[in-house]
């Protein structure tokens, strides 16, 4: 099977993820990089620091950590993220981020650790 045929076997979710990386991180991965990236994230391949998708994923992970802190601190609003990152993959990531924040808030409600409600975020 050729690389071109292999790439056509990506799931819809994988295609959406690649589309997000292309648009928001301005990357243009090769077919081989895409295959190696999904091999790596599925646990079947080695990490390759030179793979453009691996680099984009690391930048996204760091960005999410900053978003999380900014949301909790009230420096960033949920609606701002939704407006600035209008993409199905971003919606999934932002939704998971908000769920995690709310879960943490609920588990720490007795300590007053998070004082903002979801509406305020």
Domains of the chain by residue range = 3-107
Asked which of 6-10, 50-54, 56-60, 90-94 is least confident by mean pLDDT, the reply is 6-10
**Separation CA 86–CA 118 (nearest Å):** 19
pLDDT of 17-76, one tens digit each?
999 999 999 999 998 899 889 888 888 777 888 899 999 999 999 999 999 999 999 999
Q: Which pLDDT does position 9 carry in this prediction? A: 79
Measured CA distances, 17 to 22, 32, 53, 92 (Å): 9, 16, 10, 10
Q: Which pLDDT does position 7 carry in this prediction? A: 57
Mean pLDDT computed over 87-108: 88
Give the phi and the psi of residue 35 in degrees, each rounded to 5.
-65, -45
Q: Which two tokens stand for residue 65?
A: 């950590």
**Separation CA 10–CA 47 (nearest Å):** 19
Asked which of 3-17, 29-43, 78-92 is least confident by mean pLDDT, the reply is 3-17
Give the phi and the psi of residue 60 in degrees, each rounded to 5.
-65, -45
**Separation CA 29–CA 34 (nearest Å):** 6
């Amino acid at each position: 099977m050729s690389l071109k045929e292999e790439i056509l076997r990506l799931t819809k979710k994988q295609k959406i993820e690649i589309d997000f990386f292309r648009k928001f991180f301005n990357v243009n991965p090769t077919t081989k990089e895409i295959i190696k990236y999904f091999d790596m994230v599925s646990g079947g391949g080695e990490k390759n620091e030179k793979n453009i998708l691996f680099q984009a994923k690391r930048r996204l992970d760091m960005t999410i950590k900053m978003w999380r802190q900014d949301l909790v601190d009230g420096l960033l609003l949920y609606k701002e993220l939704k407006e600035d990152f209008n993409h199905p993959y971003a919606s999934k990531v932002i939704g998971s981020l908000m769920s995690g924040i709310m879960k943490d808030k609920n588990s720490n409600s007795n300590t007053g650790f998070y004082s903002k409600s979801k509406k305020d975020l």
